[in-house]
Amino acid sequence: MIKNVLITGADGQVGSELRELIENEKYQLLDVNFYFTTRKILDITHQKSVENFIQENKIDTIINCAAYTAVDEAEKQEAMANKVNKEAVEVLADIATKNNIFLLHLSTDYVFGGDHYAPFNEDEPTNPQGVYAYSKLAGEEAIQKSVPRHALIIRTSWIYSEFGHNFLHTMLKLGHSKNEISVVCDQIGTPTYARDLAATILTILQQHKQKLPEGVHVYHYSNEGSCSWYDFAQAIFEIAHLSCKVQPIYTDEYPTLAKRPHYSVLNKKKIKEAYGIEIPYWRDSLEKCIQRVDKENKRHKIGIIGSGFIATGLANQLMQNPEYEVAGILTRTDINARKDFLQNKLLTNSLDDLIATSDLIVECSGDAIYATETIDRILKANIPVVTMNSEFHVTTGSYFVDKGLITEAEGDQPGVLAILHEEAIDMGFKPVVYANIKGFLNENPSREDMEYWGARSNLSLEMVTSFTDGTKVQIEQTLVANGFGADIIKESLVKLENDDMLEGGTLLAQEAKAAGISGAVSDYLLSSKLPAGVFILAEHDQEQHDALKYYKLGDGPYYVLERTYHICHLEIIKTIKRVLHGGGVLLNNSQTPRFSVAAIAKRDLKVGESIIKAIGSFDVRGETVRIDEHLSHVPIGLLANATIKKEIKEGEIVTFDDVDLPKSLALSIWEQIISSR
């Protein structure tokens, strides 16, 4: 008799659909208690934890929806795939056998090799082709070997739903951002709407509520019909009214780490006869799912990376906006130890989970190396990225310009200058100087002073130090120069002391002309009297000068367009909206950057010393340099967990000959950027 049901993998596609159907009382199981668990709640690979949960809640039925489903990643993460798909199932099967528990387990069509072209029956020989497929078959075999008294194995195929990360969501995102894509046309299977499968599982529970099935039974379930991935993509675009064109290609034109079966259509006759169910045609179910997605998409799901000041403020703002939902907040800290974070329940340590639940992700960690790793995976999942992380852009951002939609956000100075730039160009102005305004500069501040100002400003020691020693503004203006194709008057920038934007901007423009620069330049003014913000010094056509004078912009030839505020986390939402509504990139580092931010020693650095993180340290500061004149310099964003191997004098540029750096994707990308010059 079914009374207490454990559902594992409750945050996955089938688990989420089960929860929704049950909570909305779509099925008459009102006297049954359901326990929805995720890996955060219950580690099903840990036998003692599962046994305790079973005993405490008197579980008599387990529906195992948990699975490692990253087919290609499994080729690199074999141990993890086996842990979830095999070892966890061994635990559940063993406990089910010992406690006379009904176990319903989900498996996959990939257990078949796809070497014939008729729908597979349940008893046909299996022939898995990759790590994922082998691990799923091993899970089935674990159940068969354990011989629980009551067990069902349901193989399914090509799962999609409005929840999680799947082919449907990938195609919808591509359909909104691309004019044409290519999809394989020689792999044949059947899409399965997770909601239909969840409904079938609940029908099975209803029918076995009083009498459980005897022995271990294998069934196949998918929607009716068959198609290729190309057909599936075409149908998605047709139903969603997207104009993106789909080009058919063969599997060997789209190589993947894992081999997929060419044919994996499942025969559903057995399950239909056993439970008297009718199965919808795949395209009919797809239409229903897309209707639900359209309804759900009225609220965009935004993921956040970082859990500091910017992330906290952004999360608070998004939660107050009816158009958005915070999908999760990725942090590297111990979630259980975080008592300072208002949205603690949204914190996660899993990038995979964040990717699976987000329509767009905001990266604001301030860490170039970490951001490189996360953004690489996010863009590969076809999810757009908005950053408030100029450190990332000037370090490795250029590599990602053509890898997907990634842009710096409005709110920090570079993003605000980008908005001013767009407005200036639209109004016919010609930018001459892109200028930041900085109130104070001490290139080698003391730790004591920085600790005082950090505590007073409620900022981290690293952050207040990078502001004070000029590293932050050098990074920002380097991004601006690269992003707009501007020049610099001199390395390390002029950093002109002047309390008037027009006068100071004009002096910078004159210095640029004297240096033989014909285009715009990027720099900043140093002034304790000017408000925090940015401005553009610009020219306009002679025939507009009288009108501009009438509009109180002065006599010319130079005019100041200013924004004397930047409200970082409150303005990010404007760029989120821009991207989601097809507005495109606001600012990036360009594919061919001319400038970088080098690490300059603040003191003599001795052999054997370590630099844990350069930005905001008391070891080095950042200065803008011309890349082609300093090919061996270490970008300050890369200088982390480094060991000094050659003595470096105060004021010298740190080079790759001077330090040992740990291997990282960011380092590899920088080497590619340099080698291409």
Instruction: Please write the tens of the pLDDT for every residue from 143-162.
Output: 999 888 889 999 999 999 98
Contact 4, 57 (CB under 8 A): yes
Report pLDDT for 27: 60
Instruction: Give me the residue spans of the domains in the chain.
Output: 4-164+191-224+265-282, 299-398, 413-566, 595-675
Q: Would you tell me which CATH number, out of the four given (2.30.30.140, 1.10.10.10, 3.90.700.10, 3.40.50.720), belongs to the domain 299-398?
A: 3.40.50.720
Instruction: Give residue 359's identity as a one-letter amino acid code.
Output: D
Report pLDDT for 538: 97
Q: How far apart are CA 600 and CA 339, in angstroms?
A: 37
- Which helix (H) or strand (E) segment holds residue 324: the answer is strand 324-330
Q: Omega of the bond prior to 280 within 30 degrees of 0, cis?
A: no
454 to 464, 565, 589, 611, 616: CA distances (angstroms) = 6, 21, 30, 21, 12
Q: How far apart are CA 24 and CA 581, in angstroms?
A: 32
CA-based max dimension of the chain: 92
595-675 and 299-398 share a CATH fold: no
Q: Token pair for residue 191?
A: 């899409």
Q: Token pair for residue 566?
A: 């930047």
- Residues involved in catalysis: 132
DSSP 251: G
Q: Would you tell me which CATH number, out of the four given (3.30.420.40, 3.40.190.10, 1.10.760.10, 3.40.50.720), belongs to the domain 4-164+191-224+265-282?
A: 3.40.50.720
CATH architecture of the domain with residue range 595-675: Alpha-Beta Complex (3.90)
Q: How far apart are CA 567 and CA 571, in angstroms?
A: 6
Q: Which residues of the chain have pLDDT under 50?
A: none
Contact 409, 571 (CB under 8 A): yes
- Which residue, 388, 371, 409, 398, is CA-closest to 593? 398
Q: How far apart are CA 384 and CA 407, in angstroms?
A: 9
Question: Quick one: angle between helices 229-240 and 282-296, nearest 10?
Answer: 50
CA distance from start to end of the chain: 71
Report pLDDT for 341: 64
Report pLDDT for 28: 61
Helix (H, G, I), strand (E, B) or coil at 364: coil
Location of structure tokens 């730039």? 421
Strand order in the sheet with 559-563: 496-497, 521-526, 430-438, 533-539, 559-563
Strand partners, 525: 437, 496
Helix (H, G, I), strand (E, B) or coil at 221: coil
**DSSP annotation string for 454-485:** HHHHT--HHHHHHHHTSHHHHHHHHHHHHHHT
- Which helix (H) or strand (E) segment holds residue 451: the answer is helix 447-457
Rounded to the nearest 10 degrees, how much is the dihedral formed by the CA atoms of 603, 606, 609, 615? 30
Report pLDDT for 670: 96
User: Which residues, other chains included, contact 576 with Cβ-Cβ below 8 Å and sequence gap of 6+?
Assistant: 300, 302, 324, 360, 362, 386, 409
Instruction: Give residue 507's identity as a one-letter amino acid code.
Output: L
Contact 504, 435 (CB under 8 A): yes
Q: Token pair for residue 432?
A: 């001459």
Query: Based on C-alpha coordinates, what's the Rg of the chain?
Result: 29
Q: How far apart are CA 367 and CA 460, in angstroms?
A: 14
Q: How far apart are CA 349 and CA 369, in angstroms?
A: 17
Strand partners, 610: 643
Q: Token pair for residue 354?
A: 């964040």
Strand partners, 611: 642
Q: Token pair for residue 260?
A: 């997929």
Instruction: Give residue 132's identity as a one-letter amino acid code.
Output: Y
